[in-house]
Amino acid sequence: MGSTLKGRSFLTLKDFTPAEINEFLDLAAALKADKKKGITGNRLKGKNIALIFEKPSTRTRCAFTIGCVDEGGYPEYLGNNDIQLGHKESIEDTARVLGRMFDGIEFRGFKQDTVEKLAKYSKVPVWNGLTDEYHPTQILADFLTLREQFGELKGLKLVFVGDGRNNMANSLMIGSSKVGINFAILAPKSLWPSESLVNTCKVYAAESGSTIEISDDLDLVKGADALYTDVWCSMGEEALAAERIALLTPYQVNSALMARTGKDSSILLHCLPAVKEKEVTEEVFERFADVIFDEAENRMHTIKAVMVATLGE
Ligand code: CP
Ligand code: NVA
């Protein structure tokens, strides 16, 4: 049977089965192994892709660009000041124009609704490179890294520590509950995820035989194979810095919290960029720098896999 991924958009992991998520990961691992041997391909030959960025980016922009060029495609960067998206031209019209010229569109920005409209009106595959609500391509890189570290995902315990209602916490909860990772969010109550998303993910968790826990008790990290943290103020929330520092300082990932896992083998993941001495101490960050930068590199292999699987020949 052929892949079910061809021609699809990648807007949130809610849209993919556990088998499809694993298919992206298997393809990413194969593309990574090839690239290490100096082998790239032509699977995106003749494909033009638009990269729309309302918010800044290092990893996601570079991963889409390099991933596309490695496979023979052409990427065009469209920054916030380059196009009229949603200002002087509607999202619907921009989508219809881009859909006539490009074979695929990446969008990073504020509203999830924008990336969904782009997919609906462009009629080409659209990939979510981060919105306020979700960051699904990041999860594939995180899971590839966990697979490299632990061999398999099912049964691992992953604890997200910090702003438990941000795009990373939401997407990790969706992805983990789908693939069978026991997932937990350690955060103050005012930063817990929406009840409706938790309930959706509990259904996925019941299907995959995993668990979801949400707590403000630091003992939640006991037995964790991996902690995961992210900035306390996501892009667009900079004005909340003082409030977040007050709320989240007790949840800093430091050597005491790492020790509280009770496992010498626990690792730390971070999507980056990191603000040292806020969500993570410099010492803990440096202790896990090798795995964190593997994770950053894996953005490229996994994003390449998403483009190849949905658009490639
Ligand atoms: N992790 C991540 O998405 O990084 P960028 O913001 O640099 O793309
Ligand atoms: N939560 C962060 C993730 C950055 C990759 C943000 O949205 O800024």
Polymer length in residues for the chain: 313
Same domain, 179 and 228: yes
Q: Is 271 a catalytic residue?
A: yes
CA distance 92 to 96: 6
Determine the pLDDT at residue 90.
Answer: 95
94 and 208 housed in the same domain: no
The total of structural domains in the chain comes to 2
55 and 122 both lie in a single domain: yes
**Quick one: 282 and 153 in the same domain?**
yes
Residue-level pLDDT at 84: 87
What pLDDT shows up at residue 87?
83
Residues 303 and 227 in one domain: no
* Active-site annotation holder among 8, 43, 59, 108: 108
* Same domain, residue pair 26 and 120: yes
Asked if residue 284 and residue 238 are part of one domain, the reply reads: yes
Mark whether 104 and 171 lie in a shared domain: no
- Note the pLDDT of residue 270: 99
Residue-level pLDDT at 1: 54
| CA-based R_g, the chain, Å | 19
10: phi then psi, degrees, rounded to nearest 5: -125, 85
Q: Are residue 31 and residue 155 in the same domain, yes or no?
A: no
Same domain membership, residue 303 and residue 223: no
> Which residue ranges in the chain fall short of pLDDT 70?
1
Is there a catalytic annotation at residue 230?
yes
Task: Provide the domain limits for residue 238.
Answer: 138-295
Look at the pTM and tell me if it is higher than 0.95. Answer: yes
DSSP per position, the chain: ---S-TT--BS-GGGS-HHHHHHHHHHHHHHHHHHHTT----TTTT-EEEEEESS--SHHHHHHHHHHHHTT-EEEEEETTTS-BTTTB-HHHHHHHHHHH-SEEEEESS-HHHHHHHHHHH-S-EEE---SS--HHHHHHHHHHHHHHHS--TT-EEEEES-TTSHHHHHHHHHHHHHT-EEEEE--GGGPPPHHHHHHHHHHHHHHT--EEEES-GGGGTT-SEEEE--SS-TT-GGGHHHHHHHHGGG-B-HHHHHTT--TT-EEEE-S---BTTTB-HHHHHHTHHHHHHHHHHHHHHHHHHHHHHH--
Buried b / exposed e across 280-306, counting CB within 10 Å, b at 16+?
Answer: bbeebbebbeebbebbbbbbbbbbbbb
One domain, residues 171 and 288: yes
Give the residues surrounding ligand 2 with Cβ less than 6 Å away.
130, 135, 166-168, 230-231, 234-235, 271
Q: Whose CA is nearest to atom 7 of ligand 2?
A: 234
Ligand 1: residue whose CA is nearest its atom 4 = 59
